[in-house]
Amino acid sequence: MRHPIHYAALLALSALAWGGATLAQPGPALPPEYRAYLTPLGISRDAIAPAPTHGSPREAYDRAVFAQTRKLEGSPRWALAQADAGRGVMKAFSCAAGLSLTDRVPALTKLLSRYRTDLINATRSASPRPYQLEKGATCLGDKPLQTAGGTPMIQAAWGWTIATILAEALPERTDALMTRARAFGESAAICGFAGASEVHGGRDLGSAMLARARALPEFAGDLAQAQAELRALAKAGTPAPEGCAAEAALSAPAF
């Protein structure tokens, strides 16, 4: 059985295979289960989610949100942001799905393992991170902070993508899933490795990439299998994990 997909682990694997350069094509060093679907990517991040220009209102917004969210240090919302940056996404979205997803969805794990490489390809960035521009606490140690900051949009794009895939299979959970996706993306800004504008841009990029991927027969086939698996799991009446009420209470917009 495959292991749950962990944020830092897959970024580290990709870094070993690709080095620090922008990703464009899958290489022989990357295991088959992590090879991208979109080669070439076929969309422009700069067109869909452009970076703020120096001195712009969007840059000022990013700085203001960074300062505002430093006030959350030590709070339950800070702890959730820290958990979101370090735990597997199956666990992160189990409450919103109403199902315990960890280690129980091999078809979904296969799909997301490969598709996450597409998101890594699309979200690499060498621009300064919020914590490098402003003084303030961050919720990760130095090494994971640097790793996460190399793809600052990915957490928002990843969460929005996963929630969309889950909601299509579990439509009755749509509100909970998309609310969790928004909070999951905002956790990246709370932690300090993504700007608020990158969180918003990540959602747009995630939606555009998913639309592009659906046109590929291989992706569409894997997606259909994953969603059928989710529907079967829900029909079987799998119990929801514990702690869901507390998580839901922390999902109000942070900015």
Q: Which domains does the chain have, with CATH numbers?
A: 56-249 (1.20.144.10)
Which residues, including other chains, have CB under 8 Å from residue 110's CB and lie 6 or more apart? 2, 33, 222, 226
Q: Is 176 helix (H, G, I), strand (E, B) or coil?
A: helix
Tell me, what's the pLDDT at 241?
A: 85
Per the listing, tokens 């296969």 go with 110
Maximum distance among all Cα pairs of the chain, rounded to whole angstroms: 54
Q: What is the pLDDT of residue 29?
A: 55
Query: Which residues lie across from 88 on neighbouring strands?
Result: 6
Which pLDDT score, from 0 to 100, does residue 144 have? 83
* Residues 70, 181: Cα–Cα separation, whole Å: 21
- pLDDT score for 126: 83
pLDDT of residue 213: 97
Percent of the chain with pLDDT over 90: 66
Give the chain's residues under pLDDT 50.
1-28
pLDDT of residue 23: 33
Q: Which two tokens stand for residue 162?
A: 């996963």
CA dist., res. 183 & res. 190, Å (int): 10
Contact 209, 119 (CB under 8 A): yes
